[in-house]
Amino acid sequence: MMTIRHNWCSECKETCLNHATLCTICGSTLEAPPAAVVSDLARRNQDSAARRRTNDPPGSLFSFTMQDLVQEATQNQRRDLGDLRELLENIRQEIRATGVAQQDLLEEMRSVREEWQAVPAELWDPSIGSGSSSRPTSVEYLERIPRTVVSRKSSILRQGCLSCSSKAIAGCPLPPPMEVIPGEFGMTEACALEHGTLILPEFNRTGKGGLTLATKTLIANATKPVIVYMERGDGVTFCQKAITAQDAGASAVVIGNNVTEPWPYVMKDSKGEAVGDKVSIPIVMVKLADGQALVSFFRQRNNTTVECAKWNLRMEPQNQNCVICTESFSISEVLLRLPACGHHFHESCAMQWLTSHNTCPYCRRELPTDDAAYEQERRRTERTHASSDSAAGRSSQYQDFYG
């Protein structure tokens, strides 16, 4: 008995052997063939078999049975599948080749980045480029460097900024925000003085002899918190300057430095004049260039108060690390700060380095040694190059570093 397959397309009116359920010509769903078609197909199969048994030569049109047609369709399908597999394999190979190329490119980029970011040898070894041969720092110099115990008033734990928030006037641009170094006496807590008036004394900016009556009057008549600008030097201590401004009614004092280095500079109450909370206002310092910019700004405005300007002074906590051990500075720790450059480290970390090197661990600035011949040659080289950072200059900086 012949099995009836659902391979008849009612639209095309013919059988379809290339797909099990759909017509490959029109896409219609295949159905069971009509009875007339089934009987005709059975008759053809019988006639074909009879002819094969008699006179039909092999390979003739009538020598193929339904089984032969199915077998040929299956072979065609397998051949197409093989071609598809070959195409997929080619695609996979191209993807692998692309991935290898991308990996090679990434490796090359990583190598270039590492080479670019590599720290030059002279930054690790102070004997390269500085002319030294890893000499230890002078023992006397190390003994003279003051040690500081970190406290809540330490400037290293705080940072500040002085800025002007007014609109600029044509021909007189506002100075940019300035870094300020808080003093280690007076108000040392975080504070924010907003929209204050900055007053520049017309005379006696160092505070020697006190403030003039005109300056005191400006402070007394101000309707906003007053920030007084003064300058370092003239034999007046930082504490005396702060007390002078405070007694006149000022809310804060900004001290302009009178030398370029060392910076940052730490203002201390070295004579104990602020003991007993004699200074209750914040006192901060700006570097020499910023102080000159403030004076220039006042002169351009032709004014000692610049009432139209709104000045803001902020102080807030900050975290700083020892660049040798990368650990944060904490309360009660002993720090060593190099007078020549102002960089600070844990005492133990710094001593471990300085007993075998005569350079700052951070900036590689040279320090004195106990090698007399080397020191003589170093001073001769400095004089030859007319360096502003002479040995005498460093000595005076050491004497003046802690005011």
Domain 151-317 top-level CATH class: alpha beta
Specify the pLDDT at position 334: 93
pTM of this structure: 0.56
The alpha-helical segments, DSSP class H, found in 134-212 are 139-144
Task: Provide the 3-class DSSP secondary structure of residue 334.
Answer: strand
- Cβ atoms 283, 186 nearer than 8 A: yes
d(CA 349, CA 325): 7
Q: Is the CB of residue 42 less than 8 Å from the CB of residue 21?
A: no
Question: Which residues are bridge partners to 315 per DSSP?
Answer: 160, 191
Domain boundaries, the chain: 125-143+332-401, 151-317
Q: How far is 105 from 401, CA to CA, in rounded Å?
A: 53
**Angle ∠(97,99,104) on CA atoms, nearest 5:** 95
Per DSSP (E only), the strands in 257-396 are 283-286, 311-317, 334-337, 344-346
Report residues of the chain scoring pLDDT below 50: 1-2, 56, 59-62, 126-132, 306-307, 387-403
The token duo for 58 is 């092999």
Burial 256-281 (b: 16+ CB within 10 A, else e): bbeeebbbbbbbbbeeebbeeeebeb
Residue 335 pLDDT: 92
400 CB-contact burial (10 Å; exposed 0-12 / middle 13-18 / buried 19+): middle
**Cβ(198)–Cβ(229) below 8 Å:** yes
CA distance 219 to 293: 22
Q: How far apart are CA 337 and CA 345, in angstroms?
A: 6
> Half-sphere exposure (CA, 13 Å, Cβ side) for 109?
6
The pLDDT assigned to 127 comes to: 47
Residue 38: predicted pLDDT: 76
- Asked if residue 160 lies in contact with residue 316, where contact means CB atoms within 8 angstroms, the answer is yes
Under DSSP, the state recorded for 169 is B
Q: Which two tokens stand for residue 219?
A: 């402070």
In angstroms, the CA 262 to CA 355 distance is: 23
